[in-house]
Homo-oligomer: A and B are copies of this chain.
Amino acid sequence: MPHLLLKDLPRYECLLEAAREFPDLDPSAAAAFLHLLHTSDEAFAISDRSLAAHNISHGRFGVLMLLWQGVQPRAAKLMGAGECVPGPRTPAALADAANVTRATMTGLIDTLERDGYVKREPDPVDRRQMSVRLTPSGMKFMEAFLPGHFRSIAGIMGTLTEAERKTLVRLLVKVQQQTAALRGRPQGAPAPAAG
């Protein structure tokens, strides 16, 4: 389920040592990078376990969240749709929101439909489009699953104080902005005054 990542991260002294051989290796950058991926992987694995216990994958869960947002007004808030805006319904809109290809979304909807959580319905106006809807069974699943999922997340982050969470998010957002700036740019090229 998670990325392949070495089980044990290199110790910092080792990175310092290695940096003498590799001038391009920035020890503190590498340490931060490895810890970021490793921690995320661990957190992901925990949350994935609670999903797997309910026979659902992360990808499918994302689709259910997006669909649920359209049914439950309160859910809309959670997903960022300001004021009860109906969520995505078509495979294309779902794929866009979930950041996967349409082909992948077809596959996800296939299995969700097979398991009875969602239902495809043809669009009466545009016959190219389908409309995907959560079934009562799918609704029931979400309502049964979410509280535990939220507790799981709270448990993972419970080790950080409010101030630490704030700091963590601030630093992560900085990195996100950097990756966004780097995207589509060659690896070694200078960033456009991103700081």
Q: Choose one: B17, B25, B99, B165; the contact of A31 (CB below 8 Å).
A: B165
- Residues of A whose CB lies within 8 Å of any CB of B are 2-11, 14-15, 17-18, 21-26, 28-33, 35-47, 50, 58-59, 62, 65-66, 74-75, 77-80, 82, 96-100, 104, 146-148, 150-160, 162, 164-169, 171-180, 182-183, 187-188, 191, 194-195
A selection of 24 A-B contacts at a CB cut-off of 8 Å is A4-B98, A4-B100, A6-B66, A9-B80, A18-B78, A24-B154, A32-B160, A33-B43, A33-B156, A36-B172, A39-B175, A39-B176, A40-B40, A42-B183, A43-B175, A45-B183, A151-B188, A155-B178, A155-B188, A156-B179, A156-B182, A159-B195, A160-B174, A167-B171
How far apart are the CA atoms of A80 and B43 in the complex, in Å? 23
Report chain B residues within 8 Å CB of A174: 159-160, 164
Q: Is the CB of A169 within 8 A of B35?
A: yes
Given A10-B79, A22-B78, A156-B175, 10 further pairs, Cβ under 8 A = A14-B82, A23-B147, A24-B147, A29-B165, A30-B150, A31-B165, A152-B188, A159-B175, A167-B167, A168-B168
How far apart are the CA atoms of A191 and B174 in the complex, in Å? 31
Report chain B residues within 8 Å CB of A182: 46, 155-156
